[in-house]
A and B are shown apart, each in its own frame.
Chain A
Amino acid sequence: MGKRKYILDLNDLQFKQIRHPLRKKFLHSIIWFSGSVALTVLYAGFIQNYFGSPKEHLLNQQIENIKLKYALAEKELDLSMKNIKSLEKSDEMRYRPVLMMESIPGIIRNPGFGGVERFADLNGYMYSYLMKSTLGRIEEMKNMLNVQNESFATIKDKSEEWKFEKNHMPVISPVDPSFPLGDRYGFREKHPVLGYGRMHYGQDFEVPYGTKVYATGDGKVIEAGNSGSGFGNLVVIDHGYGLVTIYAHLSKINVPKDLNVKRGDMIGLSGSSGTLSTGPHLHYQINKSGTPVNAINFFNNDITKQEFDEMIQAFGSDSIFR
């Protein structure tokens, strides 16, 4: 075989075939291997330095895609924020003024979150800021929604109270408004029965005998029967909020004491009972915290007979007492 290599031994001047012992072969291969590894590292280092590894490219591409997702999430958050703001507007601009509630200070609605310190576990990433700011916004919005939720709950309670109060206000005419008004609240020079000057605490309605008289607001009947005084048969309704209405000189009483009545409930028929009545009429009086006030200020007679009937029917309670 021509491949054999020889070496000239200068000691005995003979050519000797070069033979590598196993140990030497092993050593050789180790040297060769480490050399190639070193070269590989060199190559790789060089390429990575200037071009980046293919894997890195893929990873960077992935990061770009995730960043896009974050950007889209931010857009969605913008929309959610708009919706939250619209709820806040509804709260502050609509409900609170109507219910006479104080507005919620901005510092409570949106206290701001000591920024990004809340997400310390996200420190040390390339995109720490991105993650923290998106999460921070969500936290902020969650807080806003909590405040809003509580606010709506308060408003709901308040609105129910408000409705309750509104329903209890004596705001309608106790009789068909097409009947003429009689004597007003104020000093009367000459009382028709007593003959001398005296304060008149109610509003009179000139209604014929047997005209239906209606409760002017929700409340509880605290007196029903003959007063044994000048008022004759009377009904007194306590509306709460310091307001009491008195319907006097009735010919018939339709409600027992302690009954809860609603606005528009027919409580009796008008008449001329009592010693201080000279003819059929209704004496309607409103007491506020125990003091008579001018009842005319509590209702508008801007309603026709037909509308009044319609209204009484709409309250739907007339028939119960007929």
Chain B
Amino acid sequence: MPKSRYRFNPESLSFDKIKLGVRSVVLRGLAYLVGSLLVAIVYYLVFASFFDSPKEKALIREINQLTLQYDIIHREMDNLDKVIVQLEEKDDNLYRTIFEAEPIPKTQRESGVGGINRYESLEGYNNSNIVIETAKKLDNLKKKIVVQSKSYDDLYNLAANKEEMLQSIPAIMPISDKDLTRVASGFGLRIHPYYKIVKFHAGMDFTAPMGTDIYATGNGTVKDVISSQRGLGNHVIIDHGFGINSIYAHLDKPNVRKGQKVQRGDVIGFVGNTGMSLAPHLHYEIKLNGKNVDPVNYYFNDLTAAEYEKLIEIASKTGQSFD
């Protein structure tokens, strides 16, 4: 039994037993709870400012490591960019040495502009998702554009299938050149590789390793296969009808016989270095009614508009030809 407690009542001059009602017990309990909470908050704040919870410690460790590694990454990326710029300069110099022409301007390169932090303004709290979403949307749009242009290709093909003429007219590149890195010289006035004077260059030059496949650019008949150590070297002439001939020169060896019928895409020979030639390459000419015309106008089958534009830009450079 708990000992009863008493309080002295000065009015009645007697000791009254202290009685605790339910209400006051609850009130006291609440007061104690609130008090303890307040005290707890004070403790917590004091504690937290001096010590971290294990979870926080892990997070801080994570942040420190991520930041440290990011700094390293940032520095390394700066170095990478520097090396890339140096190598691009070397690339340009090699281009000048070997092709004796000004390289494709820097803006043509598939490079990003600006430094590493060009998205810094977007590094807000809620922006990251927007950035990522926008990038995704852009990608989707790009895909759609490709699909769209493909469907135009299909339409074109439908039309092409109807016309024998469209099958005969040279309409592809004579050599596989997806990246347009093989075009070495275009049609027109070019520096002659040996004479070092400006001479008329009657075709387009594509550099390629010895033995690379050369394709017939349209349906036709092999008009002539000529073996020579001079001039165009070993070369093949295809008659496409409609007054159009195509010539493939400096072949290592031809793959067709005179009089043979060929279809667009047939391998008619292999890249070589025969005749007057600076290096292994294909010299490709198109003659319309006996007159040389610019082959750049005869690639409409396998190039997109952008590629075509790029090709024209490359082909129009007034460097040296390869023969």
Contact = CB atoms under 8 A, between A and B. Distances in A.
A44 B207 CA distance: 74
B156 interface: no
Interface residues of B, number: 86
Contact of B40 (A5, A44, A70): A44
Nearest to B322: A98
A309 B48 CA distance: 91
Contacts of A79: 111-112
Interface string A66-97: 11111111011101101110110111011111
A63 B10 contact: no
Contacts of A297: 229-230
Interface in A267-322: 296-297, 299-300, 302-303, 307, 310-311, 314-315
Contact of A89 (B77, B181, B184, B196): B181
Given A89-B181, A135-B73, A156-B94, A172 B56 contact: no
Interface in B7-46: 7-10, 15, 18, 36-37, 39-40, 43-44
Contact of B182 (A93, A99, A142, A172): A93
B80 A80 contact: yes
B267 interface: no
A311 B196 contact: yes
A18 to B, nearest CB: 7
Given A48-B53, A73-B70, A131-B65, A307 B84 contact: no
B161 interface: no
A91 B179 CA distance: 13
Interface in A125-139: 125-127, 130-131, 134-135, 138
B65 A125 contact: yes
A178 interface: no
Given A59-B56, A311-B197, A2 B125 contact: no
B128 A68 contact: yes
A65 interface: yes
Contact of B90 (A37, A48, A156, A307): A156
A66 B67 contact: yes
Contacts of B229: 297
A43 interface: yes
Contact of A87 (B53, B67, B91, B209): B91
A72 B179 CA distance: 28
B208 interface: yes
Interface string B54-65: 011011111101
A134 B77 CA distance: 10
Contacts of A141: 80
Given A53-B53, A98-B98, A138-B76, A83 B209 contact: no
A8 B194 CA distance: 129
Interface stretch (B138-146, B254-262, B275-283, B292-300): B275-283
A80 B110 CA distance: 9
A91 B276 CA distance: 24
Interface stretch (A145-153, A201-209, A253-261): A145-153
Interface string B72-88: 11101100110110011
A149 B85 CA distance: 11
Contact of A2 (B8, B40, B194): B8
Contacts of A99: 98, 279
Interface in B99-148: 99, 109-112, 116, 119, 123, 125, 128, 131-132
Q: Which of B58, B209, B280 has the most CB of A within 10 A?
A: B209
A127 B231 CA distance: 65
B193 to A, nearest CB: 8
A80 B84 contact: yes
A10 to B, nearest CB: 9
B95 interface: yes
A168 B309 CA distance: 38
Nearest to A293: B229
Contacts of B93: 156
B66 A66 contact: yes
B242 interface: no
A229 interface: no
Nearest to A302: B231
Contacts of A61: 125
A96 B39 contact: no
B210 interface: yes
Interface in B262-297: 273, 276, 278-281
B195 interface: yes
B150 interface: no
Given A71-B132, A94-B207, A127-B62, A122 B73 contact: no
A94 B196 CA distance: 21
A110 interface: no
A8 B6 contact: yes
Contact of B63 (A63, A130, A160): A63
A86 B58 CA distance: 42
Contact of B87 (A39, A75, A87): A87
Nearest to A10: B3
Contacts of A36: 36, 39-40, 43
B77 A40 contact: no
A148 B109 contact: no
15 contacts: A2-B7, A5-B7, A18-B5, A39-B36, A53-B55, A60-B59, A76-B116, A95-B98, A97-B208, A100-B273, A142-B83, A160-B97, A166-B193, A307-B197, A307-B199
